[in-house]
């Protein structure tokens, strides 16, 4: 695939250097579809959307390099045309979602427990740092791991560590066969069955429970998928369910109460959550609609060995799980090393950083 000529990275670098000289905070944003997450940022807008396009893509290498402002739908369409996909199944939350926003938010869809998270597929990146330099980390092939960890740090950093301008991602072939099932069993039994199936060679790639039924997606070769379907039973389910779940368009998400995301260890049993819940990731991710206070919700999550994030803007003063003293120290040290003047999305994740 040919390189798109319009490279706006020089303009982004110039804007960063102007902000550094004036000591002016920057509000880094692409499509803004995930702007509701975290604290609002006060600063001059740095819009990445002009820096767009697929830089290189060779389907035989299973690697794509793409600029941060590229619409996520554009990247997915190019991969789909080659019979490939982003394995982490990232949510869009709107038509304007960009690749940079996907990396910055670090959110993954229903396939995540079986394929990996966003950061697991980051091979390399180009980043404008808080020293006003445009640096390249990592590479475009799996064998090149120089700077690999720093590139992965950009995943889930919400733009607080630097301006991501380009990223190289590992991609995978789309499965040959995909089928979805619905089984009417209660949540407790569903979690037990999922734990049992997790120890067996069953090609599950998504599993959720809405309080009434268990929803499963099976993906892989025809033989393994058909054998698992015969064994598990249930009724056919429209495959569009998983996209509606990923994009939070199911009826559950229309509930006006604040939305919480609980990230929990595998095989966590049923929890006494104060509200309506939708279980995803075979129980490792639980969406909760609740008017309960943050202390109560986070207390339940912590006791189970997990943490809770509020997905409703303004519902709590701390959208992300408050950090322990050691973790806060590490975050501050990392911020100081990569963004010494603190101009990149200050306070987006934590007011102390």
The pLDDT value given to residue 61: 96
The pLDDT value given to residue 207: 98
Say how far apart CA 250 and CA 242 lie, in whole Å.
Answer: 10
Say how far apart CA 253 and CA 23 lie, in whole Å.
Answer: 40
The pLDDT value given to residue 8: 87
The pLDDT value given to residue 148: 46
The pLDDT value given to residue 138: 83
The pLDDT value given to residue 2: 33
The pLDDT value given to residue 13: 97
* Bridging pattern class, strands 122-128 and 134-138: antiparallel
| Residue 150 token pair | 């720093």
Say how far apart CA 180 and CA 124 lie, in whole Å.
Answer: 34
Q: What is the pLDDT of residues 183-241, one digit of tens each?
A: 999 999 999 999 999 999 999 999 999 999 999 999 999 999 999 999 999 999 999 99
- The count of C-alpha atoms lying within 13 angstroms of the C-alpha of 122, restricted to the half-sphere facing its C-beta, is 30
Query: Mean pLDDT of successive 10-residue segments in the chain (353 residues)?
Result: 58 97 98 97 97 96 98 98 98 97 98 96 96 87 53 95 97 97 98 96 97 97 96 96 98 98 97 97 98 98 98 96 95 95 97 91
DSSP codes joined into one string, 148-163: HHHHHHTTT-TTSS-E
The C-alpha angle with vertex 292 and arms to 286 and 295, in degrees rounded to 5, equals: 85
Q: How many helices (H) does the chain have, and how many strands (E)?
A: 10, 17
> Is this structure's pTM higher than 0.85?
yes
Residue with tokens 């309080």: 211
Say how far apart CA 159 and CA 346 lie, in whole Å.
Answer: 9
Say how far apart CA 13 and CA 171 lie, in whole Å.
Answer: 29
The pLDDT value given to residue 143: 45
The C-alpha angle with vertex 272 and arms to 190 and 269, in degrees rounded to 5, equals: 35
| Residue 262 token pair | 């609980």
DSSP codes joined into one string, 248-285: T-SGGGG-SSPEEEEE--TT------SSEEEEEGGGTE
| Residue 175 token pair | 């499965």
The pLDDT value given to residue 1: 35
- What percent of the chain is helix, strand and coil (3-state, nearest 5)? 30, 25, 45
């Amino acid at each position: 695939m040919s390189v798109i000529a319009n490279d706006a990275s020089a303009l982004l670098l110039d804007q960063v250097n102007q902000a550094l000289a004036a000591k002016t905070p920057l509000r880094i944003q692409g499509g803004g579809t995930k702007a509701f997450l975290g604290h609002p940022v006060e600063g001059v807008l740095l819009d990445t959307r002009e820096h767009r396009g697929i830089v290189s893509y060779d389907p035989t290498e299973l690697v794509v390099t793409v600029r941060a402002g590229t619409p996520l739908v554009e990247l997915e369409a190019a991969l789909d045309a080659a019979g490939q996909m982003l394995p982490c199944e990232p949510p869009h939350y709107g038509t304007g979602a960009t690749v940079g926003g996907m990396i910055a938010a670090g959110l993954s869809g229903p396939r995540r427990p079986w394929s990996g998270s966003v950061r697991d597929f980051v091979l390399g990146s180009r980043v404008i740092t808080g020293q006003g330099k445009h640096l390249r980390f990592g590479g475009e092939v799996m064998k090149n791991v120089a700077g690999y960890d720093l590139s992965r740090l950009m995943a889930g950093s919400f733009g607080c560590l630097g301006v991501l301008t380009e990223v190289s991602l590992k991609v995978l072939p789309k499965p040959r066969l995909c089928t979805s099932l619905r089984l009417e069993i209660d949540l407790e039994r569903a979690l037990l069955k999922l734990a049992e199936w997790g120890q067996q060679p069953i090609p599950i790639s998504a599993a959720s429970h809405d309080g009434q039924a268990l929803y499963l997606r099976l993906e892989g070769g025809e033989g393994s998928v058909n054998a698992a379907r015969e064994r598990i039973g249930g009724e056919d389910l429209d495959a569009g369910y998983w996209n509606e779940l990923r994009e939070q368009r199911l009826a559950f998400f229309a509930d006006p109460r604040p939305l919480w995301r609980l990230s929990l260890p595998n095989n966590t049993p049923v929890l006494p959550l104060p509200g309506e819940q939708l279980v995803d990731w075979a129980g490792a991710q639980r969406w909760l609609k609740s008017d309960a206070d943050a202390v109560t919700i986070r207390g339940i999550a912590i006791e189970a060995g997990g943490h809770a994030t509020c997905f409703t803007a303004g519902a709590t003063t701390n959208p992300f799980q408050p950090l322990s003293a050691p973790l806060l120290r590490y975050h501050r040290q990392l911020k100081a090393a990569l963004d010494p003047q603190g101009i990149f999305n200050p306070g987006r994740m934590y007011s102390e950083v």
